[in-house]
Amino acid sequence: MGQEDIEKLLQKFRSVGYLNEQPLYSLDQLNGIEKEVNSKFPQDFKSFITAGNPDRANFEFQLPHRWSFDNEYIIFARWNDELFAFKAKEGSPMSKVIYIMEEDTKPEVAFNDFIGYIQAIFIAEKTKNNPQ
């Protein structure tokens, strides 16, 4: 998925008032976080997160960090009571696959990539607020 597709997705969030235009992180900040976790984020994640921040009560991006139960997972968000993460060994790029877990459960594959994940959030939130 290219930058044009990410812009379309951001516009969907904007059109229903689900996007805070103030990005959560700058590219420089993300580069610093990559150094801290010793891994590189997928490009679609970097493009989205440096352009805006979804504004939903039960969703939040978190400061990316290695999961205390298994440091191969890098937590980046919480949606309801579930954590979402990329998987990456130290020094390796992060997988595009998104894993879901609770505080101390075994991670499971939830989405094939970040864009699928963020689209699911948009659809779920829009459906919740507009059941039709």
pLDDT surpasses 80 at 131: no
| Per-residue pLDDT, 79 | 85
Contacts for 23 with CB less than 8 Å, ≥ 6 apart: 49, 50, 51, 52, 53
Residue that wins the pLDDT comparison between 55 and 45: 45
- Which superfamily does CATH assign the domain made up of 3-123 to? SMI1/KNR4-like (3.40.1580.10)
Give the residue-averaged pLDDT of 125-131: 63
Give the C-alpha separation, 118 to 103, whole Å: 21
| Per-residue pLDDT, 129 | 55
Give the residue-averaged pLDDT of 16-41: 91
Give the residue-averaged pLDDT of 28-37: 95
- Sign for the CA dihedral angle at 99, 102, 108, 109 comes to negative
CA distances from 61 to 48, 52, 118, 125 (A): 12, 11, 11, 15
Q: How confident is the model at residue 85 (pLDDT cuts 50, 70, 90)?
A: very high
- Where are the domains positioned within the chain? 3-123
Residue that wins the pLDDT comparison between 117 and 2: 117
What does the mean pLDDT of the chain come to? 86
Full DSSP string of 25-52: S-HHHHHHHHHHHTS---HHHHHHHTT-
